Structures are given as structure tokens and as C-alpha cells.
Amino acid sequence: MPADLKPSEFAEDPELHRRLVSSSHRAAHDLGLSHSAAEDVSQTVMLTLSKMPKEKLAQIDNLEAYVYKMARNEAIRFDTKTEHYEEELDSSSAAFSDGSTGAEHVERRVLLNEIWAHLNAEEREILQLKIFGCGAQEIGERLGITHVAARQRISRLRGRLRQLVFGDVE
């Protein structure tokens, strides 16, 4: 990193930004992830980095090495979750082989799409993070809020989902 460039200014320096993205891609590829998975990891890392407080960024001596480690950790987490979901999919695929539950599956997908359309961007992000197993602490870190605020938003999201699925049940 150039000596006159502070870590918090990485977004303003296209060359540094390119190197950081490249570093995160390299970490994911080093673990054997596909190009699209490496792209997902890279985007997650860069988003996380962009949400970091400037004070924390200023404490990082080697931003490229830090990004590489972040990407490596994210790639491991991504790969582990992907393997878990593939195992679940393989074990549940027999349930649809007779065709009797196919209609139920389609109905659930339609319901999920309708619910998704009624959620705002933050609610969607929280729901995605919960689906991928993130707790309130990690959700708070990713959204730049406290874990208490994250818990409150998760609770409100649960209520909103209940309302969307079951109507005005009290």
C-alpha cells in the first residue's frame, strides 16, 4: 500500500481496490472454490471491509494480507455451508421422486417468493444471514449495529414473517 494512502481510503484508489479484490479472489481460489463462489466471497469481504469503522481500518498494518485472511475465512465458511446444503439436498431429493410432494414444493416456493417481495432490503439481508446460520452477533457486525439491535431486528422480522404467512394472528 502506498505510504501516503490511509487504509480507509482504499475505495478511492482504484489500483488498491483492484489488488484487494484480487487478493480475496486468490484466497478463495487457493481453497479450490469455483470462480462464481470466489466472486461471492470477494464481494462479501469487500462489503464487510467497506462497513468497518475507519478507526479499525487505521489499525491494520497490511491491508492486503488482512483482506486475504478475511477472504480465506469467508471461503472456508462458504465451502462448509455449501457442503452442508448439498448433503441436505441429496438426502431430501428422494422425497420428490414420487411426484406426490412436488405440488407442495411448488406452493412453498410461490409463498416464499411472495414473502420475499414484501420484505425490505435490510429484512432480506437479515433473513439471508439467519438462513446461512449467522447469529445476532455476526449479523450486528455485518450490518454495523450492536448485537442487541440485531436481536431486536431479528425479532421484528420474525413477527413480520408470521404476519405475512399467517395473517393478523394474535
Domain end among 73, 97, 121: 97
Q: How far is CA 21 from the centre of its chain?
A: 17
Give tens-digit pLDDT for 117-165: 888 989 989 988 988 889 999 999 999 999 999 999 999 999 988 888 8
Give tens-digit pLDDT for 18-66: 888 888 888 887 878 788 888 888 888 888 888 888 888 888 888 888 8
Is the Cβ–Cβ distance between 111 and 165 less than 8 Å? yes
Whether pTM exceeds 0.85: no
Is 72 in the same domain as 1? Answer: yes
Is 20 in the same domain as 61? Answer: yes
Is the Cβ–Cβ distance between 44 and 75 less than 8 Å? no
Is 128 in the same domain as 71? Answer: no
How many domains would you assign to the chain? 2
Is 50 in the same domain as 132? Answer: no
Beta-carbon count within 10 A of 14 CB: 9
Q: Rounded to an integer, what distance in angstroms lies between the CA atom of residue 157 and that of residue 123?
A: 7
What domain range includes position 2? 1-97
User: Which residue, 156, 124, 155, 125, is CA-closest to 138?
Assistant: 125
Is 88 in the same domain as 112? Answer: no
pLDDT at 52: 83
Domain end among 44, 63, 97: 97
pLDDT at 7: 44
More confident residue, 98 or 33: 33
Is 85 in the same domain as 60? Answer: yes
CATH number at residue 118: 1.10.10
Assign residue 85 a region (left: φ > 0; alpha: ψ between -120 and 50; beta: otherwise). Answer: alpha
CA dihedral 137, 140, 141, 146 (to 10 degrees): -90
